[in-house]
Every structure is written in structure tokens, then in C-alpha cells.
Amino acid sequence: PGPPFCSRSCRPRFSFGGTLGPTCQSGRACHLARRVLWTGLPTVSAGDRDRLELPLSLAEFSEALRLMPTNKSPGMDGLTVEFYRVFWDVLGPDLVTVWAESLLSGVLPLSCRRAVLALLPKKGDLRDLRNWRPLSLLSTDYKVVAKAISLRLGSVLADVVHPDQTYTVPGRSIFNNLYLVRDLLELGRRDGLSFALLSLDQEKAFDRMDHGYLLGTLRAFGFGPQFVSFLRVLYADAECLVRLNWALTEPVSFGRGVRQGCPLSGQLYALAIEPFLCLLRRRMAGLALRKPEMRLVLSAYADDVLLVVQDPEDLVRVEACQAVYSAASSARVNWVKSSGLVVGDGWQTSSLPPALQAIRWSAGPLLYLGV
């Protein structure tokens, strides 16, 4: 028998501030914000678009299964990666058929749509549900399909995601971000520059992502209708059951967010936040370097966005860009948890916009990417 279910009274406690439920990102403000964000984005080439539109094959599923890590917790059915590898000759062709039928019906089988949501503690008061990280334990068949799509997506990600975003993009590393900040601080000290580094804290970044915004962003990047439908089917009518004290809640609809535990989640988030980063690059002055045409605006690793501000007016632009992004995607920045580092003596934090006055500014160390 499976694990027992929690009482119905448990269910409202697992909204994570409303991040699991559906959103209503609509109306004129949302439409205008999305139009601003989606204008002028880079697009995949025509050849790559056509290649991504092809049906997923058994060979791609086989390669996805081969690359998946072992000794991982399975989904509700209890079937592990190791099990699938042993019986792949039997299960592989069936999975191809199930996926083809799911595309026709627009929805995955219930066993694929459902995930067990495990709660991992973060820092802070653990009596506050916001200090727990939700991790989706997904069925292996779902992850094989998602991994196959991820392998396709990874081949074009660098073409549409700017080099200053390093998360999940093949050939890029978190060390690029760290080395950049190190060199930037050394440059400021050596040349006597005055500027500020602003680290934005996106509140529950992965969990708040609006699905309509995400799919629209994929289309804006030039992905074709068939590839977009792959992602739509993966998230259509998705549900989760929260694991609590070895029991499970009743099913909760997964109306927004990208599932942390899905092989695609990181790539989808990198694509979803990229229009916001593009807007910042267009509107911020950033830090002028030695050559007039060279400037440094930001460094990003997933939702860890570090902005380089020399002109205080850039802070007003940051707030305006964030407002556009929030209206379009339901994202939300936590200004109180955001922090800033002042470099040099000529940069002042006075006369900031009201929201940005809550930022913790200092001349001391700045924690960035855990360092």
C-alpha cells in the first residue's frame, strides 16, 4: 500500500504563498509588459527551429536514459532509472507510443503528471513555510521525456541566452561569474572607480513563473509550435502531493512555476528570465570600461542577478524594468533581502527610489553565489 494521505485541512497550508496555484496574468498591463519584454529578442536559426520540430525518437529517449544519474529517489510509482535501464527493450517503444498519444490528447497520463513534493529546509525560521524549498520527485518516464527535450534545447541555448547568464548553458560556468566580480573589484581599486554592485533577490523565482508567459517567451525566441507544445504537454494539468511526516496531502494543482527536479527546469528558467535581463541591458548605462563601446551591466547565474551601477539613475531604471517583468510573469523581487556593495568614495545611496531604500547597502563584503 502507498503512504497515507493527510487530512483535507492540511491542503491550504501548501500554497507556498500562492506559488503552486494558477495565476491570472492577463489584462492590458500584462499584455503591454509582455510586448515590451518580447520585442527585439534573439531567435534560433531556421535550421535549428526545423530540427527542434521533429518528433522525439526512441534513440533520443535511449540517450536521455543513459545520461540520467542513478541512485535517485523515484516518483510515486517507485520505478527507478536502474529499473528502466534493465527493461528498456520492453519499456522504450511503449514510452515513444505514450508520448505520441500525449501530444495528440494534450496531456500526459496521470502517473506522469503527478509528483511528490518533498520539502527541503533552507536557512531561517523553519516554522515559516517560505523557508522550505519544494523539490518535485517525478516519475522516471516523465524525466526521460524531459531529459530528451533538454538535450535538444541545450544545443541552441547559447544562441539566445546572453553570455553574461551562465546557468545551464553548455560551455559556461559559475566560475565565470565569480572571476568577473573578482576582476571588477580589482579594477575599481586599481583605477579608483566609483560604482555599486546590486544583488537582486527574486522571491521564489522558480516557483512563481507564469506558464503563459513562459510559453510566450519560447515563441518570442523563435521556437516552433511543435516544440512549444512539448513543453505545454509536460506542464498541462500537473499535480503534486506534498510529503509531510511520511504522509501525503491530497493532490494540489501545479498552476505555475517550473518543477525543481525536472531536467528542464533550469533551462526553462534561464529562458524565462532572459527577456528581463535583455531589458536591463538595453536601458541601463552600466559601468563604462576603457573602450567607449564597452560597458558592463550585469552578471547572472539563474535568478542570482548582480547589477553593475555607476549612474545612480540606473537604479530608477532597474525598478522600472523589474515592474515590467513582474507584470508580465508574476515574478517578484524582495528588495529587503536584496543587497548592495558600494565601491569607491564617489558613489552615494542617498535619494534612492522608495523601494530601493530597503536594500542593505554596505562598503563591506557582499555575499554572491555563496562566496
Residues forming a β-bridge with 153 = none
State which H helix or E strand residue 154 sits in.
helix 140-154
pLDDT-based confidence at residue 306 (cuts at 50, 70, 90): very high
Q: Please give the full DSSP string across 269-320, using - where no structure is assigned.
A: HHHHHHHHHHHHHHH---EE-SSTT-EE-EEEETTEEEEEESSTHHHHHHHH
**Higher pLDDT among residues 76 and 228, named by residue:** 228
pLDDT of residue 12: 41
pLDDT of residue 20: 54
For a pLDDT cut of 70, what percent of the chain falls above it? 90
Q: Span 237-264, mean pLDDT?
A: 85
**pLDDT > 90? residue 370:** no
pLDDT-based confidence at residue 54 (cuts at 50, 70, 90): very high
Q: Please give the full DSSP string across 162-210, using - where no structure is assigned.
A: -TTB-TT-TT--HHHHHHHHHHHHHHHHHHT--EEEEEE-BTTTTTS--
| Residue 27, Cβ density class (10 Å: 0-12 exposed, 13-18 middle, ≥19 buried) | exposed
pLDDT-based confidence at residue 230 (cuts at 50, 70, 90): very high
pLDDT of residue 349: 65
**Higher pLDDT among residues 127 and 168, named by residue:** 168
- Helix, strand, coil content of the chain in percent (nearest 5): 45, 15, 40
pLDDT of residue 23: 52
| Residue 322, Cβ density class (10 Å: 0-12 exposed, 13-18 middle, ≥19 buried) | buried
Give, rounded to a whole angstrom, the gap between the first and last alpha carbons of the chain: 46
Query: Hey, CA dihedral for 180, 185, 188, 189, is it positive or negative?
Result: negative
Mean per-residue pLDDT of the chain: 88
pLDDT of residue 328: 94
| Residue 312, Cβ density class (10 Å: 0-12 exposed, 13-18 middle, ≥19 buried) | middle
How far apart are the C-alpha atoms of 193 and 171, rounded to whole Å? Answer: 31
What confidence tens digit (pLDDT) does each residue in 9-40 have?
444 444 444 445 545 456 889 999 999 999 99
Residue 342: alpha-carbon gap to chain centroid:
28
Q: Span 332-344, mean pLDDT?
A: 87
Most confident of the following: 220-234, 281-295, 347-361: 220-234
pLDDT of residue 274: 97
State which H helix or E strand residue 58 sits in.
helix 58-67
How far apart are the C-alpha atoms of 130 and 122, rounded to whole Å? Answer: 9
CB 164 within 8 A of CB 298: yes
pLDDT-based confidence at residue 161 (cuts at 50, 70, 90): very high
How far apart are the C-alpha atoms of 228 and 169, rounded to whole Å? Answer: 19
How far apart are the C-alpha atoms of 75 and 62, rounded to whole Å? Answer: 19
What confidence tens digit (pLDDT) does each residue in 116-149 have?
888 888 888 888 877 888 788 999 999 999 999 9
How far apart are the C-alpha atoms of 115 and 252, rounded to whole Å? Answer: 10
CB 340 within 8 A of CB 359: yes
CB 210 within 8 A of CB 256: yes
Residue with cell 572607480: 193
Query: Hey, CA dihedral for 6, 8, 13, 15, is it positive or negative?
Result: positive
pLDDT of residue 103: 96
Q: Span 250-272, mean pLDDT?
A: 89
Cell numbers that stand for 328 in this block: 508580465
Least confidently predicted of 127-136, 165-174, 319-328: 127-136
Least confidently predicted of 15-29, 80-94, 277-291: 15-29
Q: Span 34-57, mean pLDDT?
A: 97
* Cα-based angle 21, 18, 325 (whole degrees, multiple of 5): 95
**pLDDT > 50? residue 186:** yes
pLDDT-based confidence at residue 207 (cuts at 50, 70, 90): confident
Q: At what angle do helices 88-105 and 140-154 cross, to 10 degrees?
A: 80
Beta-sheet strand order (sheet of 339-343): 298-301, 304-309, 195-200, 339-343, 360-362
pLDDT of residue 9: 42
Predicted TM-score (pTM) above 0.85: yes
pLDDT-based confidence at residue 169 (cuts at 50, 70, 90): very high
pLDDT-based confidence at residue 350 (cuts at 50, 70, 90): low
| Residue 371, Cβ density class (10 Å: 0-12 exposed, 13-18 middle, ≥19 buried) | exposed
**pLDDT > 80? residue 221:** yes
Query: Hey, CA dihedral for 308, 312, 318, 321, is it positive or negative?
Result: negative
